[in-house]
Structure 1
């Protein structure tokens, strides 16, 4: 049986980084391993479901959806037994997922709002990871959610300037102003470690604009940048 695996490099970074950041910022425990695999398989299941809606290849995607969903439910049963309140994090994802379904059905899944919703979705996964470790959502969790959102929002702008909106001069300036502006604001606010974490994003948004790297190269650069962002926060702020 051939399983459906997403090929979007950026989505993997958005899936993993907020979860791990929040896990380390709280109190990591063995149950986080089950929670992570549940989160992974729920993502794979929803991806298969959306592809089934988009491409209408029922047999191929339905089998993957069912299998991934079964694994997700099995893995989530352990942390859910220990922390039943995790159910509400899953519940909060449903209206956001409905927006994803709408954009998929209208064949406009690359819409800017849909990308922003994806960032929020993955951020909620991070909040669930923090809550599972600390049994609360405090200022640290909100800070990490915000940093995750601001980082990947910049990624959306940058990727659009490199691919779909590469001839749109407005997107270029949106991207440049955003990336430089956020570093500038962080420096003025004396959040120096955060500014260092965001600095490579600003550099690559400006230096690589107008270049024509392959899609795979763009994806790999984003993965490396996300890993850098992750380790800067781990080393200096968590």
Structure 2
């Protein structure tokens, strides 16, 4: 991939975002298949989701760029925005117009994230939490095309899985910061370990009362060990990414065998 594609906004340069985008959707897709709510509209939803991320990325670049340089991001922003809107319309036609209600859940997540981008603070922890929450929510969107059915029977598993996805990926945001941008920061290291430890305690508690299988607690315990140990090793971004691929696969396996 040419460097120009990254510089002009046609290809996002946030490589770690791919797993965060695809995993929640994949899990939601599997939940929909199991529940018998899956349909061809999911393909359109996936296109809308991915193209929407491209548009969001370009909007962030446009907002934080100097006025004299904003023009370079207009073409990809308009292209991806229109393509995502088209795919979204196809999704609504296939899944039902009630799916549009999910937009109300995304507004309080995406608008503050764009505001942070306009202030060049898109990499702030709050920005990471907002984008991870938006990505994790896709698990429920894919499973419940009509959000009003979320209160129907068998809602607990999708909600718990969505929470687990958020807990893992936001923990990864903190963990990556302790290894790169905030390397050496005791405060960030403590926050990362505390977050992962709290997720482990919650998973163990839910396993203890029979709500979650025990392996979820084991998974988050492993992430806690990773969060405490790896920052001492000085790994490269490439090595960190390779290990995260493994953890993401294990996350999906934990869900599949439930």
TM-score, structure 1 as length reference: 0.89
Q: 2:240, 2:99 → 1: CA distance? A: 35
Gaps of 5+ in 1: none
User: Per the alignment, in what secondary structure is the counterpart of residue 226 of structure 1?
Assistant: helix
| Superposition deviation, residue 159 in structure 1 | 1.1
User: Residue deviations 1:55-110, cap 9 Å, x none?
Assistant: 24323211111111222122222220131111111233223222112111111111
Q: Please, what is the CA RMSD of the aligned residues?
A: 2.2
1:132 aligns with 2:132: no
User: Per the alignment, in what secondary structure is the counterpart of residue 66 of structure 1?
Assistant: helix
What number of residue pairs does the alignment pair up?
236
1:67 aligns with 2:67: no
1:25 aligns with 2:31: yes
In structure 2, relative to structure 1, the CA distance for the partners of 1:91 and 1:182 (3 Å cut) is closer
In structure 2, relative to structure 1, the CA distance for the partners of 1:203 and 1:133 (3 Å cut) is farther
Higher RCO (C-alpha 8 Å, min separation 6): 1
Q: 2:145, 2:252 → 1: CA distance? A: 20
**Contact 1:37–1:75 at 8 Å: present in 2 too?**
yes
Match of 1:161 in 2: 178
User: Residue deviations 1:33-76, cap 9 Å, x none?
Assistant: 11111100011011111111112432321111111122212222
Gaps of 5+ in 2: 208-212
TM-score, structure 2 as length reference: 0.83
Q: 1:89, 1:185 → 2: CA distance? A: 27
Q: 1:15, 1:48 → 2: CA distance? A: 16
Alignment of 1:37-76 (within 5 A): 37-56=47-66, 57-76=69-88
Stretch deviating more after TM superposition (196-205 or 30-39): 196-205
In structure 2, relative to structure 1, the CA distance for the partners of 1:10 and 1:199 (3 Å cut) is farther
Alignment of 1:1-238 (within 5 A): 2=5, 4-27=10-33, 28-56=38-66, 57-82=69-94, 83-132=96-145, 136-137=149-150, 138-190=155-207, 191-234=213-256, 236-237=257-258
Q: 1:94, 1:130 → 2: CA distance? A: 20
Q: 1:197, 1:48 → 2: CA distance? A: 35
Q: 2:201, 2:157 → 1: CA distance? A: 22
| Superposition deviation, residue 169 in structure 1 | 1.1
